[in-house]
Structure 1
Amino acid sequence: MVEGYSPRKEGKQMKRYYLAYGSNLNVTQMRFRCPTARVVGTAVIEDYELLFKGSKSGSYLTIEPKEGAKVPVAVWSVEEEDEAALDRYEGFPTFYYKKEMQIVVTGIKSKKERLRDAFVYIMHEDRPFGIPTWNYVQTCITGYNTFKFDQSLLMNAIRKSRKELGI
């Protein structure tokens, strides 16, 4: 699928699936930013790890390939307007780019597993490691608690940044 492409069917907008692993796990924040987005399930991105990277203005979560690592994600159904709002928030395409992937989604209510095409935002890999603000980490922790994800993945990402930065 083409980056940024929003498919349409018979003049109707089709929903796309978005994989959230950072601050967009925060349901309250997502309802504000993307009012028509709906959580449809959770999934795990295999062979990727969480990292805190960024710029002089701040450090944020991203994912990068790492064999054997796993990143839990919430899966959101988004409409075209939601995706446009996410593009703005994520600084697409300058700060983050989009990657399309197929992923097994476990439904929130049914717990049924389905293979879905989805997109995820990934920060450009040349960005330096950094230490996030406590406020950003708290926003992510709120999301991790909502979806019952293992918070140690966030703490490990902070430890890795500290190690890379010699702190």
Structure 2
Amino acid sequence: MGSASRVPEDRRGDGGRSAQGRSVGDDARLYSARHGTTKGRVESAPPLPPGHAAGKQRPPRKDTRPVLYLAYGSNLSRARMAARCPAARPLRPVTLPGWALRFERVATIVPDRDAHVRAALYRLTETCRRTLDRIEGVGEGRYRCALVSLPATEGVSAPVLTYIKVDDRRGPPTQDYLDHVVAGFQDWGFDLAPLRRAVAGAADTVR
């Protein structure tokens, strides 16, 4: 086995300044009105609109439906998200209670009522959403779309989109992947200690 992935010493970023414009609550209410509200549980995210299946293509239309996306792994990195989804707008950091960060080659979250996950909200267009579905391997069974609820103190009244790993990969992350996660933690000013613990836990599973 090669050398273990390492998380550098803690360095705080810019604290995740909020974007200007519509509030997070406005986007959440719009998303809830279109897709339904779920409190206290996780559901699969709604399917893509009709017309995206093979043989049923519709003419391109302007994206009009914002989607609130909760990032907790490599997509915390603003540079990585900008490269993947240029239209995505970083909003602000949030805390998701009742879940724990875990690494199984890549980042995922698992239910844990005594834990919490530091994350970031992005505002996505529908095009961004479809791009992330493809990158995260939803169609290949690597991740699944899910809706998770944030506490009322975060100012978001409807569930937000995230991705949860479902394939059978196990073990610690590669250093290249971990570097993206570290950059994201620093972008949003997060403490690196929870990240170190999650990486150490992944290494323990293969010993």
| Equivalent residues of 2:97, 2:150 under 8 A apart | no
Check conservation: 2:63, 2:125, Cα contact below 8 A: no
Distance 1:148 1:12, change over 3 A: closer
Larger-Rg structure: 2
Structure 1 residue ranges (4+ consecutive) displaced by more than 4 angstroms after TM superposition: none
Q: Which has the higher contact order (CA 8 A, sep 6+)?
A: 2
- Describe the shift of the 1:140–1:105 C-alpha distance in structure 2 as closer, same or farther (beyond 3 A): farther
The answer to whether the aligner puts 1:86 opposite 2:132 as a matched pair is yes
Q: Give percent identity, aligned residues only.
A: 28
Give deviations 1:23-73, integer Å, cap 9, x for gaps.
Answer: 1011111111111110122211111111111xxxxx100001112111011
Residue in structure 1 matched with residue 143 of structure 2 by the alignment: 96
- Corresponding pairs, count: 152
2: CA distance between counterparts of 1:105 and 1:159? 32
Q: TM-score, normalised by structure 1?
A: 0.82
State the match for 1:71 in structure 2: 117
Amino acid at match of 1:82: C
Which stretches in structure 2 are left out of the alignment for 5+ residues? 1-34, 36-43, 50-61
Match of 1:60 in 2: 106
- Mapped to 2, the partners of 1:67 and 1:3 lie a distance apart of 22
Contact 1:38/1:78 (<8 A) preserved: yes
Matched, 1:113 2:155: yes
Larger proportion of strand: 1
Cα deviations across residues 84-111 of structure 1 (Å, max 9, x unaligned)? 11011100141000111222488xxxxx
Q: Name the SS for the 1:139 alignment partner.
A: helix
- CA RMSD of superposed structures (Å): 2.2
TM-score computed with the length of structure 2 as normaliser:
0.67
Deviation at 1:157, TM superposition (A): 1.1
| Offset, 1:138 | 1.1
